[in-house]
A and B are shown apart, each in its own frame.
Chain A
Amino acid sequence: MRKWRSRTKSESTNASAATNSNLIDPKPYKDIILSKISCAVTYTMLFHFLFILLYVVIVNHNFMAPEVWLRSILYSISCFSFWIYILPVVVLIFFKTALSSKSLLTKTNEGSSTLRELISGLSVKIIFLVLHIIGGGFVVWLYLSLSEDQYSALYSKCDGHTCMQEGGLFLILNGAWNGLYFYLRTQSSHKMLLFPVIQQSKFCNFKAEFFTIVNESKWFALYPTIYFTLLYHCLSSIVYQICLEFGVEIQHQQFGIPLYFLTWVFSTVYVIHANVFEFLFKLFLTEQIRLPLTRTDKNAPSLADALSLDTVPILQQLASLDLYLLSLWSPERRQMLYALSQPGGHPYTWNQLIDVILMLVNNFTESLNNNMEAISTPDLVRPQNTSTHKNFDATLTTVPVPMKYLNIRSSQTSSIASIAEIQTNDSLQVQQTIYVRLMKILSDLYGYFKNIGIIKQIFGTSKDAKIQDILKSGQSMELMISALGNIVVESVREDPYGVIQRDVPDIIASLFQLKIALERLNKSSILLKKNSSHSSVKLSNSVYGATKRSLIKICRRFRNYLHEFNLKKETVGQLRSIF
C-alpha cells in the first residue's frame, strides 16, 4: 500500500469540514431545488387540468352526436368561468407546495423546546389542515360546477326565493370532511421525504404507481364517505339550523343510492388529487442530480460541498443519493475519485469527500451516544438539598480562587502589596459573597422549577425527540454508508494508487463505532416507546443494516490485512465475529 500524508486527527477534520460547510453558499443548490419544486407544481397542475378535462369529456358525453359532444367540450374549456373555477385549486396547490417545501429547505432546530416546537408545528399544521378542508370543498364544488346535472348549482329558486340545494351542500361538506380526514390520517404526523427504492425514469415511475394510487384511493375514500353519511344524517338538524341562522333556506332532497355513489366518487377524486400531489412532489424532488466531484467554480460546488451542507436537508440527501449511485454504476466517476492532482500528486477529491463523510458519520455517532447517555444516566441537575453544610462547601467552591487564599501570606512582594487592598475591600468582599449566595439560591430555584415534571415537559427538550431529530438524517446516512462500502470494495480493483486504502482503517473504525451506537439504541427503550415514531425505528434499522453490510463487505475484502490496520485488538476480534 502506498502511503500518503499521515491522516489528520478527526477533530481537525471535523473542524475543517464544519468550517467548510459554513462557507458554502447554498444559493446555487437552492436554485436547483426550486426548479424541481416548480416542475412538480407545473406537472401537478397539468395533471389536475387533464383530470378535470376527462371529467368534462365524461359528463358531456353524447355518443349519438360526437360533433355536439366535441363542441360542448370545447365550449366548456373556452368558457371564462371554467378557468375561474380552476383558479382556487391552483392557489391551493401553490400554498401546499410552499408549506411542504419549507421543511425540506430548512433545517429543524434540534435544541428547541417542546413548547416552541409545538407552537411552530401547530401553526403550520393548522394552516395545512385549513388548506386541506378548503381544498376538499373546492374540488367537489369545481367538479359540480362543471357538470350539467341537478347538483351543478348550489342555489336554486324555490317558492319565489333562493334556497340552497341539500344534495349539493351534502357533497361539498363531504369534500371538506374528506380534506379533514385525509389530513388527519396521512399528514398530521411529520412525514419524511423518502427516496424511492429504485431510481426509475419519472414516466415509468408514474406509470407504475398511478394505478396503485387510484386503487388505494378508491378504498381509502370509502370510509370517510360512510362516516360522513352517518354523521350527516345524525346531525342534519344542526346543519339546517346553522344555515337558517345565516339566512339560508335549505331545499330538502331525497337521498338515494345515486347520491351516495356520487359522494364516494367525489371523495375518490379528491383523494386521488391529494395523493397525486404528494406523489409528484416526491417524484420530482427525489430525482437524482449529478453533482461534480471537484469544484469547478464558486457557483458550482462539488459533491463533498453538498454533502456537508446540512442546512438544506434535501440537498444533503440528494448528494448522498448521487454518491450511492456513483458507487454502484459509475466506474468513470469513481476513477475521478482516485485521481491525483497534477502537479503534486495528491488525491484532493477523495480527501475532501472522505473528510466530509467521516465527519458526518462521526457526528451522527457522537450525537446518538451523547443523547443516549443523557437518557440512560439520571439527571444531574436535581433540586438541591439545602442543608447548611453542603451550602457551605458549595459556596467555598464558588468563591474565586485568588480570594480563597487571601489570608495566607505569600513570600512574594506582590502578595504583600495586595494586603492593603484586601483591608480596603472588606465591604466589597461581603457584598460579593452575598451576591454569590443569592445567585446560588436563584440558580437552585431555577434548577428546582426546571425539573418539575410538567415544566420540564413543556419548556425542556425531550431527549427522545432529540434522538428522533438525529435519526431524520438517517436516510442520507444510510446512502452514504452504503456508498462508502461499495467504493472501498471496488477500489481494490479500480484504484491504481491505493488512494482509498489509506483511509480504510479510519472508515472501519467509524463504521464500527456507529454500529455499536446503533446497537445500543436498538437495545435501549427509546425506540420501543409507544410515542416514538414508527419511521424512527425504520430509519434506525436501515442505518444499522447499511452499516453492518458495509462493514462486512470491507472486512471480507480486506480480511487478510485486518491485522495490519491500526485497529484495537478488541475491535478486530469483534469484526471477525461479524464477518
Chain B
Amino acid sequence: MNNLSIFEVPTYGEVTLCEVDGKVHSMHYEFANIAAFTNSLETHPNIHITPNLLHRRSDEGKSVFVTVDEPFLKRLIHAYYEHGMIEMLNTAEEFGPSYLKNIVSVVFLVLNGVKILRNKLTSTTIENDLTLMSCISHTRFWMTSSIRCIAWDSYDIKIAVATCDDAIRIYSHNSNFIPILKCKQQKNITCLAWRPFSNSELAVGCENGIFVWNIDQTSMITRPSINNASILRRINHVPVVSIAWSPTGDILASAAARDPSILIWHVERNETSTLSMPGSHGNCLVKWSPRGNKLLTATVERVFRIWNCETWTSERWNVLTGRIQACCWSPCEGIVLFVSNTEPIIYALSFTHLEMIFATSENSATLATPLYDLSRGEIDGVIIGGTVQNMEWDPRNNIVAVLFQDTNYVAIFKVTIDPTIHLNPCCLVAGVPDEKPVCISFQGNFEHGACLSIGWSSGRVQHFPIVRPEATTSSSIISKEFYNSSSFHNSGTSFKSP
C-alpha cells in the first residue's frame, strides 16, 4: 500500500495554482497569477468572503443600543423568542423571584437527570447539537470558519457558498450580481446540493431541517424572501448533516445526526419515505451513485449501508473503528472509496465486476480493499496527511481530492481503474502561509479537465484547475466518455474474499 511520502511537497511561501498538461505550477503568494499558465478560469467568479461581508446573527447589533430595564415577563418572552426555551429558563433563574428560581432549578435537575439516563441507556455521549454537527461535518473548523461549505452546479458555472452568518451567496460566471439566500429559520448550514436538471433549485441542510431555495434566474432581487423556499422539516429529523439529490433530480435523501432513519423526500409534495436502520442512533452521510442505482448511507456508529435503489434492499457493512467520515463514488459508479474518522486509510469497495454488493455470499467480497495509507508524516519539514475530513471524486475524470483534518495541504490523486484500482499521487495544493483548507468541491462541468474549488480559512475560494491536453469542449465527446466509463471495472482479485 502506497503512502504520502511519494508526494512532492510545495515550496514554502508558494501557492499551488494549477496543473497544466501534467505539470504543477506554483508561484509566490504575493505574485500569484493563474492567468500566466491557463486561461481556463477566465469566466470563473473570484470569491473572497471577508469579515465585513458577513452579517453575524450575534449580539453585535445590540451594543449600539442603550440597554433598558424591561419588565421580567417581557424579558422572558424575548429570551424565548431569540434564544429558545433553555435561555428562557436561565433568564428566569437569574432574574426571577425566588420561588420561580426554585422551580427552574428543579426543572434543570430533572433535565440533567433525563440527560444522564439517556447517556446511560444509549451508551453514547449526548453531545450538544453544534458539537455533533461540527464533528460530523465535511468542513474543517466548521464552527469558526467563515466558509461553511461550497457546492458547484452540475451544469452551469455557478457556485453556492455557505458562510458562518447562515447566508448562502450564489456566484455565477460573468456576473457581478450575487443573490444572498438567508432567512431566520436557516441556522448553522451543514451541506448544500444543487438540484440536477433544474438550474435554479438549491437544497440547504441545516440545524432545523432542509430549505429548498428556488432562485429565479431572471430576477434581480439580491435577497430573495423565504417565499422562494420550501421548508422540509420533521420533528425528529434534526440536525440535518447530509443531503443528496438523486441524479434524475426527482427525490432528495437526507441524513440527520439524531435520527436513526434516512428520509427520502418528494420535495414538491413535502412527503417522505423512510429507510429504517434499526439499531442506529443517527446518520452522518448520504451519497447517491452518479447514475442513481445505489445510495450509500452511513450511521454515526460503525455501520454503513449500500442500498440498491431499485428494490431498496441494503447491504450492511462495518468499518473497523469509528464511523465513515467521507466517501465518493467513481463516475462509472463501479467503485466507492471511503475513509473512517479514526483511520487514515482510503478503502475501496467495488461492485462492477461481479455486482459484488448484491451477489450471493459465495462470490461477494466481504472486505473492502485498503487502497492508500494517508498516515501523517513529515517530508522536508512539512507535515502532511492524517485522518481525513473530506474526499471528493471529480464527476467526469478519474481524479480524487483529499482534505485532511489536521494538516494544511489538499492531496490530489489520479486514479487508474483498469485493470485494478490504483491511486497515483498528483500533487499537494498549498495556500497562502497561515491559510488552512476548510472545504473542497469539484466543478462537475469543467470543460478543460477537472477543477477543484478549495475554501480556505481566510475566506478565499481558490479554483485549482487540472487542465488536460486531450480535454475537448465537445459535449458529445464528454458525454460519450461518461457513458463509456461503465466499461471501467476493477478486478475482483484485489479484494479479500471471506
Contacts and interface: CB of A to CB of B under 8 A. Distances in A.
A443 interface: no
A493 B479 CA distance: 11
A542 B268 contact: yes
B198 A198 contact: no
A548 B483 CA distance: 24
Describe A's contact surface by its main secondary structure: helix
B269 A549 contact: no
A212 B268 CA distance: 22
A545 B292 CA distance: 19
B310 A329 contact: yes
A204 B312 contact: yes
Contact of A549 (B198, B266, B275): B198
Contacts of B248: 328, 482, 486, 549, 553
Given A208-B276, A328-B248, A201 B199 contact: no
B265 interface: yes
Contacts of A493: 483
B177 interface: no
Interface of A: 194, 196-201, 204-205, 207-209, 211-212, 328-329, 482, 486, 493, 538-539, 541-542, 544-546, 548-549, 552-553, 556, 559-560, 578-579
B273 A548 contact: no
The 5 closest A-B pairs by CB, nearest first: A208-B276, A197-B273, A208-B274, A542-B268, A541-B268
Interface in B245-261: 248-251, 261
A378 B205 CA distance: 46
Contacts of B476: 560
A197 B197 contact: no
Contacts of B265: 197
Given A209-B274, A552-B198, A553-B197, A194 B311 contact: no
Nearest to B272: A197
Interface string B306-349: 00011111000000000000000000000000000000000000
A199 B268 contact: no
B312 A197 contact: no
Nearest to B248: A486
A170 B358 CA distance: 56
A196 B270 CA distance: 12
Nearest to B310: A329
A549 B250 contact: yes
A538 B268 contact: yes
Contacts of A552: 197-199
Among B266, B268, B272, B292, the one with the most A-chain Cβ atoms within 10 Å of its Cβ is B268
29 contacts: A194-B269, A194-B271, A196-B271, A196-B273, A197-B265, A197-B273, A198-B264, A200-B273, A200-B312, A201-B313, A204-B313, A207-B276, A208-B275, A212-B274, A538-B269, A538-B270, A539-B269, A542-B266, A542-B269, A544-B268, A545-B198, A548-B197, A549-B197, A552-B198, A552-B199, A553-B248, A559-B475, A578-B199, A579-B155
Nearest to A560: B476
A205 B270 CA distance: 18
Contacts of A204: 276, 312-313
B396 to A, nearest CB: 15
A549 B198 CA distance: 6
Given A329-B310, A560-B476, A198 B273 contact: yes
A197 B199 contact: no
Contacts of B273: 196-198, 200, 205, 208
Contacts of B250: 482, 546, 549
Contact of A556 (B155, B261, B276, B309): B155
Contact of B268 (A205, A211, A486, A545): A545
Contacts of A199: 312
Contacts of A208: 261, 273-276
Given A328-B248, A542-B269, 6 more contacts: A194-B269, A197-B264, A198-B251, A328-B310, A541-B268, A549-B197
A106 B210 CA distance: 38
B114 to A, nearest CB: 18
B271 A197 contact: yes
A211 B476 CA distance: 49
Contacts of B155: 556, 579
A196 B266 CA distance: 9
B268 to A, nearest CB: 4
Nearest to A538: B269
Contacts of A579: 155, 199
Contacts of B261: 208
Interface in B207-235: none
Contacts of B270: 538
A204 B198 CA distance: 31
Contacts of A200: 273, 275, 312
A579 B268 CA distance: 20
A275 B476 CA distance: 51
A579 B483 CA distance: 21
B197 A201 contact: no
A578 B265 CA distance: 24
B314 to A, nearest CB: 9
Contacts of A201: 311-313
A227 to B, nearest CB: 22
B290 to A, nearest CB: 15
Among B264, B273, B483, the one with the most A-chain Cβ atoms within 10 Å of its Cβ is B273
Contacts of B264: 197-198
A94 to B, nearest CB: 29
Nearest to A212: B274
Nearest to B252: A197
A481 to B, nearest CB: 11
Nearest to A479: B250
Contacts of B268: 538, 541-542, 544-545
B266 A197 contact: yes
Nearest to B250: A482
Given A198-B312, A486-B248, A556-B155, A548 B271 contact: no
B313 to A, nearest CB: 8
B198 A548 contact: yes
B217 to A, nearest CB: 8
Contacts of A197: 251, 264-266, 271-273
Contacts of B276: 204, 207-208, 211
A196 B268 CA distance: 13
A192 to B, nearest CB: 10
Nearest to B267: A545
Nearest to B263: A197
Interface in B192-211: 197-199
Among B197, B267, B312, the one with the most A-chain Cβ atoms within 10 Å of its Cβ is B197
A328 B269 CA distance: 20
A476 to B, nearest CB: 14
A444 to B, nearest CB: 46
A96 to B, nearest CB: 23
Contacts of B274: 208-209, 212
A175 to B, nearest CB: 27
A208 B313 CA distance: 13
A201 B312 CA distance: 8
Contacts of B199: 552, 578-579
Interface in B46-76: none
A542 B268 CA distance: 5
Nearest to A198: B273
Nearest to A548: B198
A282 to B, nearest CB: 11
Contacts of B251: 197-198
A496 to B, nearest CB: 15
Nearest to B308: A329
Nearest to A534: B270
A161 to B, nearest CB: 50
Contacts of A560: 475-476
A501 to B, nearest CB: 15
A194 B313 CA distance: 22
Among A208, A329, A482, A548, the one with the most B-chain Cβ atoms within 10 Å of its Cβ is A208
A240 B313 CA distance: 58
A272 B251 CA distance: 29
